[in-house]
Amino acid sequence: MPSSEKNVPSHQRPRQRPRVWVIGLDGVPWTLLQPWIDQGYLPTLAKLQAGGAWGELRSTIQFLTAVAWSSFLTGLNPGKHGVFDFSRRIPGTYDQELTNAARRAGRSIWRILSDAGRKVGVVNVPMTFPPEPVNGFLISGLDTPGLDSAYTYPPTLKADVNDVHFIAVSTVGKPHGRYLEETLQGVDKRFELLHRTIEREALDFYMWVEMETDAIQHCSWHLMSDPDQPNHDAILQVYRRIDAHLGVLVEALPEDVTLIVMSDHGAGPIEKTVYLDRWLAQHGWLNLKYGSDLTLVDRTRHVAKGGVKQTLYLAQRFLPVGVKGFLKRFTGAHAAVETFIDKADLDWSQTIAYNTGNLGNINLNIKGRDPQGVIDADDVDQVIADITAALYELRDPDSGEHMVVDVMRREDLYTGDLIERAPDLLIRWKDDKYLATKDYDNLPNGPIFGHKQKFGRHGAAYALDQTGTHIIEGICILYGRGVRDDTRLNDANLIDLAPTILHLLDVPIPRAMDGRVLAEAFVSEIATRPVRYEEDDRDISSGPDSDLSAEDEEEIRARLQGLGYVA
């Protein structure tokens, strides 16, 4: 190595082939970003926008973290990778299990790059636990059970990052001000991990994800409309902290790097919550067990449910904050137990349809497919037509406007061998501003609409309201090597990024990928270069061969509930 290069960090040294860095900002929308860029609050992102190619990035349906990141990292639509929510139904039952990298089909982009001999570094991307072996290193993200788990590849890397890596800032038992303070500290730690890993070795591809953008939006959206509210600028504070850190990275950006800043979906306000199970019950499509239908086991479950909920409520309301935090793992275990209790309360012999997920999914109970199915195959189309017509008539009780803009059958949305894992019907809400959730209490007579959704299932321990939700449009900014400046991207999709990255790194694109190369973002040399595809049509295969223990599932589920990702 020339003496002039000895003191230059490895990530800044000239290389023989191009590199790509991806910065993921979970849940960032242009509806926030553009005004703050225009007002001068985000100078680094303003520089990237003016000097690069940018535009909206359309997410998946549903635009949930687990689904979206799985589609990004595989370049596949959900019908091929098989992830449709944070959980999936266990075949042959009505029970749910959490999804993760081991329960996903499709080769990740870093697997493809590794197989092509490229060096990769992957940090904190959701849906990467358990970490798969790569030609480089990987630190798994949100779905990691805990820092005591094997969350790095190679395993020895854990000792080098365990002091700075964290999974999520907990919302448990915290006032908003404290949560904001810890979130800002979390942003600093995320970037400390970035700089520690990006300089670790010479890499062809590096990716790092910041999750705090999404989390702060979930609990702070309502504050923005009232300047008199404490921390009304909480979301902006987080964005500005990130922008300042990005400034350091961009200032030293090597000439051979193409930088991609992207989000998996956007964010917006929650107008109302919708209790779809109650709505289904009031239409006669979902039924609970009552009276003589309840067995001794059923009655015992009801008593247990009431006792556990009351105990948790009192403990979380009156115990000190530190002790409330100690309850976190117990509430996680309780969440799994309560889900089992609630599902057991359904009278499947009289239930035609039921709700799953957070954005609005409906499953049918079909004979021959489901354990206690009641719908004849010949009647499925009519049932779907009836439910669809009723959904289109659903109106906001305050504004009177129609709430549903589309009801989609899974076969019309997805392609691939794993469509059968998808919900039968998927709802698109007007302006993406309604949050579907579930609460089996007071069925069928409870209210269909709510105005506030608490983090977790037991509000006293989770002081923060969930007032922000996801919208389908995220962001994409490309900057640096080979990128045209001041270029507006149109019709860009999340699944386009994987083939675009492979094209930039001159690696053949698997024919199974559903996206396209965003050629319009690049100068002629790259835009006109023929797109190369793998000659063989490889099996898209499954993810890493590993699984979660019951304890891991409880830990992850509690975290996801506390962050507002699952009901």
Q: What is the pLDDT of residues 35-63, one digit of tens each?
A: 999 999 999 999 999 999 999 999 999 99
Distances (CA, A) of 406 to 27, 53, 236, 504: 22, 31, 32, 36
Encoded tokens for 270:
């929650």
Contacts of 337 (CB under 8 A, 6+ apart): 308
pLDDT at 92: 85
Q: Which residues of the chain have pLDDT under 70?
A: 1-16, 290-344, 440, 452, 454-463, 536-550, 553, 557, 560-567
pTM of the model: 0.87
- Count of the separate structural domains present in the chain: 1
Distance (Å, whole) CA 470 – CA 213: 12
Please, what is the Cα angle at 100 between 98 and 106, to 5 degrees? 130
> Buried b vs exposed e over 357-390: b needs ≥16 C-beta within 10 Å?
bbbbbbbbbbeeebeebbbeeeebeebbeebbee
* Structural domain harbouring 53: 16-270+470-481+498-562
Strand partners, 409: 425
> Residue 280 domain-assigned?
no
> Residue 375 domain-assigned?
no
> Residue 259 domain-assigned?
yes
Task: Kindly list the strands in the beta sheet with 272-275, ordered across the sheet, starting from the edge strand earlier in the chain.
Answer: 434-437, 272-275, 449-450
Helix (H, G, I), strand (E, B) or coil at 200: coil
pLDDT at 199: 85
Nearest to 480 by CA among 414, 526, 436: 526
pLDDT at 324: 39
> Residue 520 domain-assigned?
yes
Render 13-28 in DSSP notation, one character per residue: S--SS-EEEEEEETT-
> Residue 165 domain-assigned?
yes
pLDDT at 565: 62
pLDDT at 318: 45
Encoded tokens for 468:
């922000």
Q: What is the pLDDT of residues 192-219, one digit of tens each?
A: 999 999 988 999 999 999 999 999 999 9
CATH number reported for the structural domain that contains residue 173 in this entry: 3.40.720.10
> Residue 46 domain-assigned?
yes
Give the burial class of 536: count Cβ atoms within 10 A of its Cβ; 0-12 exposed, 13-18 middle, 19 or more buried: exposed
Amino acid present at 156: T
> Residue 230 domain-assigned?
yes
Torsion of CA 196, 197, 203, 204, to 10 degrees: -120
Distance (Å, whole) CA 428 – CA 361: 9
> Residue 113 domain-assigned?
yes
Nearest to 142 by CA among 437, 562, 559, 494: 559
Encoded tokens for 101:
């990298």
**What stretch of H or E contains 210?**
strand 205-210
Neighbour tally for 152: CB within 10 Å: 21
Render 440-453 in DSSP notation, one character per residue: -TTTTTS-SEES-E
pLDDT at 540: 53
Q: Write the Ramachandran bin of 97: left for phi over 0, alpha for psi from -120 to 50, otherwise beta.
A: beta
